[in-house]
Structure 1
Amino acid sequence: MDDCAQERPLFTFGVIADIQYANIDDGYNYSRSRRRYYRSSLQLLRNAQESWSESAVKPEFILQLGDIIDGFNKGHNASERALDTVLREFSSSPVEVHHVWGNHEFYNFSRSSLLGSKLNSTLHTDRSLSETRPGPEIYAYHFSPFPGFTFVVLDAYDVSLLGREESSEQYKSAMNVIRQYNNNEDLNCPPACEGLEQRFTMFNGGFSKEQLDWLDSVLSSADDKREKVTIVSHLPVHPCSTDPICLAWNFNELLAIIRSHSSVVCFMAGHDHDGGYVKDKDTGVHHLTLEGVIETPPDSNAFGTVSVYEDRMVLKGSGRTRDRVFLFP
């Protein structure tokens, strides 16, 4: 361990998920089983920012894994104000932030407004990122912070009822998917069955064929270059890394693509506030679901700093987020 402590990483990055800030009193989750700390989530973000700014090795970038503000903001006409408040905290340091989109982004904003907003990292970070996307309406791109390493941001609500006009073909297609499994009047209520079909709710979504084909080509290129790829998404895609109710609709299709490529080393997601982890037994790919800030008490924390080396990534967690070592397959 002493040798590890003295070895300088190639680069580091910060990771945080499900801040869900709103300027309202504490509340509870959908089933009223977990407390949610809407206001104090901002202080927990400040704690993370302070930790990253004081690190001996400054992070190259931050991964914000989605649900940056809570859907309750919409009902209070406070979506823009809440987003500005959180982004102001992120801008307190010069570190580049890569924003992932979750369900709460779509509770607050339309897809078209998100594409033109500060949450579209392809507009506000490296300009070349906008040229690496699968389509004009799909929020997915890749970037390389260091030679030999690529990060891919995926759009887990590309196929979804959220963020789509009810008259659109995308909405109708998503409704056809969800209605095969969920007959509830309230589509946020999971199907009565147990098991993986519980994922077919309105607060989840999936990946279109266009996005999957694009990912396949990105990974093929990374295979050829012998790069190490980390994929990030709001929704987890491995059934053992999350509660089934938080899985992407077509997780199996995305897993099949990952398993057909040698370049992928890690998949990071949010959405399940309890967090989770599994190492895929077939590929050795690490699937990390990060604990959510929103359900973290004010006297704790939920964020991590990842140090990247030639043969591994080391997650130094804070509060509810535990330390982990991800050896590359």
Structure 2
Amino acid sequence: MEERTPLFSFGVIADIQYADIDNGTNFSKTRTRFYRSGLLLLRNALRSWSRSRSRPSFILQLGDIIDGFNRGLGSSDRALDAVLAEFSSEPLQVHHVWGNHEFYNFSRSQLMESRLNSSPRAGRCGADIYAYSFSPAPGFTFVLLDGYDVSLLGVDQTSEQYSRALKWIRKHNHNQDLNQPPAPCGVQQRFAMFNGGFSEQQLLWLDALLSRADEQRERVTVVCHLPVHPAAADPVCLPWNYEELLSTLRAHSSAVCFIAGHEHDGGYHWDPESAVHHLTLEGVIETPPDSDAFATVSVYEDRMVLKGNGRVADRELLFPR
């Protein structure tokens, strides 16, 4: 059978969390975190994409590019330089998503002026919200969302933005340490400082964008550091107002896929209410140096075919008819 040529393809990688320190563990001491080898695994991915018969049109870097430990070591800029040097070693366009570890290392204003701001001049949500859209091929749109639009991270503690976020999270989390989830299980866990929320402005912008895509019969893939479906990740990783984002996706026929990181074990769920595929990519940070954690996605008229490497499984994501 003749193999079809995709309309375009793209690469995906998540949670590199590079730091020049020895291996450690996650917060529950159940998983090893491989801080240094993130560069090796990124190099493996870039080499694979560059040598592919169908070179990806772009790469989605799903956030947490360097680890928060760098901030305490005074090595944030050095670590970021090291990772971006790897990305620059291959002629591939990269779209950077921001996660909690970006904000552990840099303020929002610093990130807006940094090389991690990959937003184009057109298609932005607003001046202070890191959300934008782009179209890699006719009939297809990708939307990068700002999962920390409302957050305690990366903003001045005297600011109105910080006060609004603190008031929101304090309604649900009464712990002294707001990085400690307020519940041992279930979606209530999400009200922790390492997550964030979507402002009304961003939700209205996404809704309007999807409405236009509905009219034009486009296929839209939404990308964010935070997963938004409880069945696609551990609920502790969800945004504070994930239900509003899910409702927006379910209201539009153009939305076909939601891609996220944050949950290092990865996950997948097909939402029957919207026919949207929710894909959470496994994190590089908890991948042993003798394995891999990246994927290449080939896009066709009727589906996306994900070819995983290492911990990432192959998947076929059919579009609704």
TM-score of the superposition, structure 2-length normalised? 0.99
Counterpart CA distance in 2 for 1:132 and 1:55 is 30
1:24-63 paired onto structure 2 within 5 Å: 24-63=21-60
Spell out the pairing of 1:236-255 with structure 2 (5 A cutoff).
Answer: 236-255=227-246
The separation in 2 between residues aligned to 1:136 and 1:7, in whole angstroms, is 41
- In the alignment, what sits opposite 1:22? 19
Is 1:300–2:291 an aligned residue pair? yes
Letter in 1 for 2:259: M
Q: Which amino acid aligns with 1:63?
A: L
Q: SS where residue 121 of structure 2 aligns?
A: helix
Shift of 1:180: 1.1
- How far is 1:135 from its partner? 1.4
**C-alpha distance after superposition, 1:135-194 (max 9, x if no partner):** 111000000001100000000000110011111111111111111111111111111353
Q: 2:140 matched to which residue of 1?
A: 149
Q: Which runs of 4+ in 1 moved over 6 A?
A: none
1:274 paired residue number: 265
Residues 20-70 of structure 1, C-alpha deviations (whole Å, 9 max, x = no match) = 000000001111111000000110000000110111100000000000000
Q: Which residue of the other structure, out of 184, 192, 195, is the alignment partner of 2:186? A: 195
For the Cα contact (< 8 Å) 1:61–1:96, is it kept in 2? yes
* Residue pairs, 1:161-200, within 5 angstroms: 161-200=152-191
1:67 to 64, 67, 89: 64
2:60 alignment partner, SS class: strand
SS in structure 2 at match of 1:131: coil
Amino acid at match of 1:232: V
Aligned residues: 320
Match of 1:97 among 87, 94, 97: 94
Aligned-pair distance for 1:284?
A: 1.2
Residue in structure 2 matched with residue 126 of structure 1 by the alignment: none
Amino acid at match of 1:295: E
Is the CA contact (8 Å cut-off) linking 1:130 and 1:141 kept in structure 2? no
Deviation at 1:93, TM superposition (A): 1.0
- Structure 1 residue runs without a partner (length 5+): 123-128
Give 1:131 deviation, angstroms: 2.7
Match of 1:125 in 2: none
Bigger drift between 170-179 and 10-19 goes to 170-179
The code of the aligned residue for 2:283 comes to G
Tell which deviates more after alignment, 180-189 or 53-62. Answer: 180-189
Q: Distance in 1 between matches of 2:264 and 2:183?
A: 22
Cα displacement (A) at 1:130: 2.5
Tell me the secondary structure at the aligned position of residue 74 of structure 1.
helix
3-state secondary structure, aligned to 1:219: helix
TM-score scaled by length of structure 1: 0.96
Partner of 1:228: 219
Contact kept, 8 Å, 1:157 with 1:207, in 2: the verdict is yes
- 1:264 alignment partner, one of 255, 261, 284: 255
Query: Which residue matches 1:312?
Result: 303
Does 1:158 pair with 2:149?
Answer: yes
- Could you say what secondary structure the match of 2:122 adopts? helix
Identity rate, percent: 67
Structure 2 partner of 1:81: 78
2-side partners of 1:196 and 1:130: how far apart? Answer: 36
What residue in structure 1 maps to residue 109 of structure 2? 112
In structure 1, distance between residues paired with 2:124 and 2:173: 32
What CA distance in whole angstroms lies between the structure 2 residues aligned with 1:187 and 1:277? 28
For the residues of structure 1 that align with 2:42 and 2:109, how far apart are their CA atoms?
27
Aligned equivalents of 1:109, 1:144: Cα separation in 2:
29
Give the Cα separation in 1 of the matches to 2:304 and 2:38: 27
Deviations 1:250-305 (A, max 9, x none): 00000001000010100000000000000001121100000000000011100000
**CA distance in 1: counterparts of 2:223 and 2:67, whole angstroms:** 20
Task: Compute the RMSD of aligned alpha carbons.
Answer: 0.8
Give, in angstroms, the shift of residue 220 of structure 1. Answer: 0.7
